[in-house]
């Protein structure tokens, strides 16, 4: 029992943020002594929306030369993926199809159930003006991340629809104006984080760390730096990660390590690292119901803090042996300690809220509560 409690004191909370990842650990090895770890992996790649740092997200797409059955099939597939991922826009390169086509639907809600999609083939922004407006943007290729980006508030786009007609789309000061510019960016190999200076990325990362410091928890960042998987990053390592513009999945780790690359870690990669390090609680805002994340969850026994989880996703997690707990922080600590004491070999997902701050506050509160309970033993 005491051995389980001693292990529980080591709290790892990893999160993906603006194309880099960081992790939090209570009482970590001093950074000057933290040894890099290397990973061996034999995981299969998933076949859904591409996630950063997939190189195809940085490539310029080719124009569509003919609207044929293949293009119509692709449009149908893109819309299906967009709706299933609760997105309002998707570009063809995000599913590995390097053609200039996007789909958008800024009116759809699960509650209303009505769909009003647009399929834009070879879209071109012919006018972008008006006052610059800051909007908090998300992206299906950067799950769990939102960044504030300034764009022109008024936009006019010309594009061809599936019937071959040349259409004009105009939007001003609303979500559609943002979505059109965001998705067309993808066709030129530009993602939302390319609009964000590295300094702001590092600033947001530090803000999240402060949530742990406020509760007397010492943060320890993890990532892949120059091909070395490191737990405990220096400021220089952190700056390098912020400039890397990427976060990897578990299946991408071997290639990144072998190529001497630098990358943050997404949920599946972080869970793999946490398992190797013997660390249990993990903070993963970008957790999805993708095959990679589900396989990582069902194959480990971790306490995973994440964003909101819909009832449908909670049911899916549970069907894979991954229960979703909605408990107050003080009860979560008890539930975790009992789970470890009984040596229950299952992963538990803890939904915490919309923002990184929400997740960091709850994860650090549980970490501190576990420390107090262990100290009292």
Q: Which residues pair with 15 in a beta bridge?
A: 22
User: How far apart, in whole angstroms, are the C-alpha atoms of residue 208 and residue 240?
Assistant: 18
Instruction: Please report, for the chain, how many H helices and E strands are present, in that order.
Output: 11, 14
Strands 348-351 and 222-225: unpaired
Per annotation, catalytic residue among 137, 183, 209, 361:
183
Query: Active-site residue 183, yes or no?
Result: yes
Per-position DSSP letters for 6-50, written without gaps between them:
HHHT--EEEEEETTEEEEEESSPPPGGGPPPB-----PPPP-SS-
Per-position DSSP letters for 119-175, written without gaps between them:
EEEEEEEEEEEEEEEEEEEE-TTSTT-EEEEEEEEEEEEEEE-TTS-EEEEEEESSH
Query: Which helix (DSSP H) or strand (DSSP E) does residue 349 occupy?
Result: strand 348-351
Per-position DSSP letters for 229-292, written without gaps between them:
EEES--HHHHHHHHHH--EE-GGGHHHHHHTT--BEE-HHHHHHHHHHHT--EEE-TT--SSHH
Q: Which residues are catalytic?
A: 183
């Amino acid at each position: 029992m005491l051995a389980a409690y001693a292990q529980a004191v080591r709290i790892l909370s990893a999160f993906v943020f603006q194309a880099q990842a960081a992790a939090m650990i209570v009482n970590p090895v001093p950074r000057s002594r933290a040894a890099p770890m290397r990973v061996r992996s034999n995981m299969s790649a998933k076949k859904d929306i591409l996630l950063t740092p997939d190189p195809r997200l940085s490539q310029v797409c080719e124009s569509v030369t003919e609207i044929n059955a293949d293009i119509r099939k692709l449009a149908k597939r893109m819309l299906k993926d967009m709706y299933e991922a609760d997105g309002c826009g998707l570009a063809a390169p995000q599913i590995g199809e390097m053609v200039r086509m996007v789909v958008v639907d800024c009116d759809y809600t699960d509650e209303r159930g009505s769909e009003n999609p647009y399929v834009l083939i070879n879209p071109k922004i012919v006018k972008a003006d008006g006052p610059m407006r800051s909007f908090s943007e998300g992206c299906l290729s950067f799950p769990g991340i939102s960044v504030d980006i300034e764009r022109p508030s008024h936009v006019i786009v010309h594009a061809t629809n599936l019937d071959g007609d040349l259409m004009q789309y105009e939007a001003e000061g609303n979500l559609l104006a943002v979505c059109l510019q965001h998705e067309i960016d993808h066709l030129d190999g530009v993602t939302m984080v390319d609009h964000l200076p590295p300094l702001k990325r590092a600033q947001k990362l530090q803000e999240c760390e402060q949530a742990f410091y406020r509760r007397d928890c010492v943060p320890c960042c993890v990532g892949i730096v120059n091909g070395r998987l490191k737990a405990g990053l220096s400021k220089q390592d952190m700056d390098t990660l912020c400039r890397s513009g990427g976060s990897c999945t578990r299946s991408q780790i071997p290639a990144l390590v072998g190529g001497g690359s630098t990358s943050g870690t997404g949920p599946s990669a972080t869970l793999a690292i946490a398992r190797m390090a013997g660390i249990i609680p993990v903070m993963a805002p970008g957790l999805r119901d993708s095959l990679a994340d589900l396989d990582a969850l069902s194959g480990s026994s971790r306490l995973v803090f994440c964003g909101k989880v819909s009832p449908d996703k909670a049911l899916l997690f549970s069907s894979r042996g991954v229960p979703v707990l909605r408990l107050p922080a003080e009860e979560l600590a008890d539930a975790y300690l009992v789970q470890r004491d009984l040596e229950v070999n299952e992963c538990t997902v803890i939904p915490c809220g919309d923002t990184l701050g929400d997740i960091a506050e709850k994860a650090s509160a549980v970490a501190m509560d576990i420390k107090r309970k262990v100290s009292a033993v």
